[in-house]
Chains A and B, each alone.
Chain A
Amino acid sequence: MIQRWFAAATLATFGLAASMPAVHARDTGMAYVSSEKDNALAVIDLKTLSIAGTIPTCKRPRHMQFMPDGATLMVACGDSNRADLIDVAARKVIGNVPLGDDPEAFDLSPDGKFAYVSNEDEGALNVVDLASKKVVKSIPVGKEPEGVRTAPDGSRVYVTSEVANMVHVIDPAAGKVVKNIQVGKRPRRFALTADGSELWVSNELGASISIISTRDLTVTQTINFEIKGMRPDDITPVGLALARDGKTMFVALGRASHVAFIDVASRKTSNLVLVGKRAWNVALNRDGSRLFVANGLSDDVTVIDVAQGKAIKTVPVGRVPYMVVVDD
């Protein structure tokens, strides 16, 4: 069903997309960029690919995600120990939620009632009840948890630990770790394949991707980056995004300042696009035609035309950009 929708979306023109059955109800036509040193989000106009404004928010904003209403952006701030809730149409903070010490990333439960938050300093995954705005559970995991991903059916939460080099599989209802999966060095971020059978994990210092079978909860394959002209030590993969057709995985290569296009079926790198310095998180627009890359060390966002496999524009944003959320 979802796949059919994406197929329809890729056929639709840019203008038509707005009238499609919407995941993001407001469709502001903007992208939002969190920058660690700005205490503000940069707003990029998707038509002109230029800065349309900024939204002041809490300290050291990093991970961002839309709430189920598609109109409220939840922004986790590491130095404020909370998330701000931002009405993107009004460009205003309308509330906040405490997340525990030094929150980095989070994901929501499928019903939108809970946020699962990685708390770097505590070495815990906090479960936050968004209605009561309380941390209801704190599940100890390896030190410096980072990427968080809820399984589509909500039965599991996956979280990486950068220090333990593990993916913890957590049963959120029971509030405990059900399995620890050893992956590569400094695991960062997740992406699920289209059928949900594979969970891809980027290993920043492993220069690799671990592929976990979501059925067996074991690593079935490791993709090591061997790229001509680059040494493995210079490749530090972080951000992951799956193409809308499910056939290509986009991987930001960090220090290597490139985004790799990986063919999901063959695991081969089919294209490399030069972007800014320390390519961090990546995000697609709705029809999957454009990929946005937050470049942590060049303070800009690179926009890639996916079909051409080329960077088409670089937009200067705030200091130390972390993540982009596209709302077209």
Chain B
Amino acid sequence: MRRPVGWTIVAAVVVALVPLHAFALTIGVLSRADDDRLDPRRVELGYLGQPGGPPGQAVEVAVKESQFELEAANLKVTIDTATARDANDARSQMQRLEKAGAVAIVVDLPADWIARAAPVTKIPLLNVGEPDDVLRAAQCLPNLLHTYPSERMRADALAQTLAARRWSKVLVLHGTTPDDTNRLATVQASIRRFGLKPVAARPFKLSADPRERDLANPLLLTANVDYDVVWVVDTDGEFARQLPYRISLPRPVVGDGGLFALAWAPNFERFGAPQLARRFLRGVGRVMTGHDWAAWIATKAVLQAALDKATTPAAQLKAFVQPGFTLDGFKGVRLSFRTWDRQLRQPLLLSDGQGVVALAPAEGILHPTNVLDTLGADAPEGLCKTR
């Protein structure tokens, strides 16, 4: 069969044009304006498990390190950064980014802002900073993914570590803010899940008032009871960071002081981690935190899906939960999104800030399909109803 001449010429022109016009890929980044967590005075205290800078920095590192593949695939990436003052503002920023052609948005906002703003858009939103489990359960959405580990994942990681050490008697000290109360419930559930024994739960108060010393003095708070370990729940962190070595028994402190379960630690030495940590340090000028890791891997997910030809928001969303979609997070195993709540399954690092002393899932912990799913909400619980 002979082809019409004109058709052949058109085809030749199209082939010639494709390499000339790089495909433009826009990634949105949405974080909070005037972020209290990033107050310079707070950041310089270097609380473990808290952010060290805006998420856009890690997004840039991820794009930069992928430059070779992006150029080979003719993809030109633009990062569109926005900030929001409140939930309503977050909603309009999401709409603006969607209109601007963002293929996905890296989101670092409080849980209630996400819950209120996210339904406005259908494009993928990658939560890189909010651990609240409610976003993975009652308030989950089909286009809401999470690369930052949930509160429960972190509590499970610590509980597994204690179970593996057979440090089973746990004294819990907790703050009394609404966040602390929420997180206390998560911690207590993890303690039960892994067969530890809660010996007592005591509220603390930051105070130097002698009349309140029963609530404020670490020695008094940890006296008159026997325990293997003190688990402190202190979202702010000021009380918890002063707790180790100041309790009445010579026992370790875990949770928000002492030993933490983290998404990332800059001094992690295995699985090629130092390379990533060094790239970040060189590119940004500060050490990489768990929040940075979450923003970095979220961007890697978007780029990887785009390199697999998923260059529309709908195609991206579909790509993320395909069975073969796995990510390399420099944690030694393949990472992927759970289909039931779109949380990135991942090992967590147990660290006191000086070094990484263990990884979770702990050795010996078993699971019928993927041991990473022993951290956080598992499929049979059916906590997220939207698929």
Contacts and interface: CB of A to CB of B under 8 A. Distances in A.
B68 A161 contact: yes
Interface string B329-368: 0001110000000000000000000000000000000000
B66 A163 contact: yes
A252 to B, nearest CB: 15
A81 to B, nearest CB: 14
B65 interface: yes
Given A121-B278, A144-B275, A205-B333, A231 B370 contact: yes
Given A121-B278, A185-B328, A142 B334 contact: no
Interface in B97-120: none
Contacts of B275: 120-121, 144
A166 interface: yes
A185 B334 contact: yes
A233 B66 contact: no
Contacts of A186: 328
Nearest to A207: B334
B334 to A, nearest CB: 5
A207 B275 CA distance: 22
Interface size, B (range): 10 to 19
Nearest to B326: A185
Interface in A120-175: 120-121, 123, 140-144, 161-166
A142 B328 contact: no
Contact of B332 (A161, A231, A236): A236
Interface string A171-201: 0000000001000011000000000000000
B272 interface: yes
A180 B72 contact: yes
B69 interface: yes
A286 interface: no
Contacts of A290: none
B326 A163 contact: no
Contact of A205 (B66, B68, B69, B334): B334
A255 interface: yes
Given A120-B275, A205-B326, A233-B370, A140 B332 contact: no
A161 to B, nearest CB: 7
B69 A233 contact: no
Contacts of B332: 236, 255
A142 B65 CA distance: 8
Contacts of B333: 205, 233-234, 236, 255
A144 B272 contact: yes
Interface residues of A, number: 24
Given A121-B278, A236-B332, A164 B326 contact: no
Interface in A87-134: 120-121, 123
Contacts of A120: 275
A121 B69 CA distance: 16
A123 B64 CA distance: 12
A162 B272 contact: yes
Contact of B334 (A123, A165, A233): A233
Nearest to A164: B69
A298 B96 CA distance: 53
Contacts of A207: 334
Contacts of A185: 326, 328, 334
Given A180-B72, A185-B326, A143 B65 contact: yes
Contact of B68 (A164, A231, A255): A164
Interface string B318-332: 000000001010001
Given A185-B326, A185-B328, A140 B68 contact: yes
Nearest to B329: A205
A205 B278 CA distance: 21
Contacts of A143: 65-66, 68, 279
A255 B68 CA distance: 29
Contacts of A180: 72
Nearest to A162: B272
Contacts of A144: 272, 275
B65 A163 contact: yes
A142 B69 CA distance: 7
Interface in B47-77: 65-66, 68-69, 72
29 contacts: A121-B275, A121-B278, A121-B279, A123-B65, A140-B68, A142-B68, A142-B69, A143-B66, A144-B272, A161-B68, A163-B65, A163-B328, A164-B68, A164-B69, A164-B72, A166-B68, A166-B69, A166-B72, A185-B326, A186-B328, A205-B326, A205-B328, A207-B334, A233-B333, A233-B334, A233-B370, A234-B333, A255-B332, A255-B333
Interface of B: 65-66, 68-69, 72, 272, 275, 278-279, 326, 328, 332-334, 370, 372
Interface of A: 120-121, 123, 140-144, 161-166, 180, 185-186, 205, 207, 231, 233-234, 236, 255
Question: Which 5 A-B residue pairings sit nearest by Cβ, starting from the closest?
Answer: A142-B68, A164-B69, A143-B65, A205-B334, A205-B328
Given A165-B69, A185-B326, A233-B372, 4 more contacts: A123-B68, A142-B68, A142-B69, A144-B272
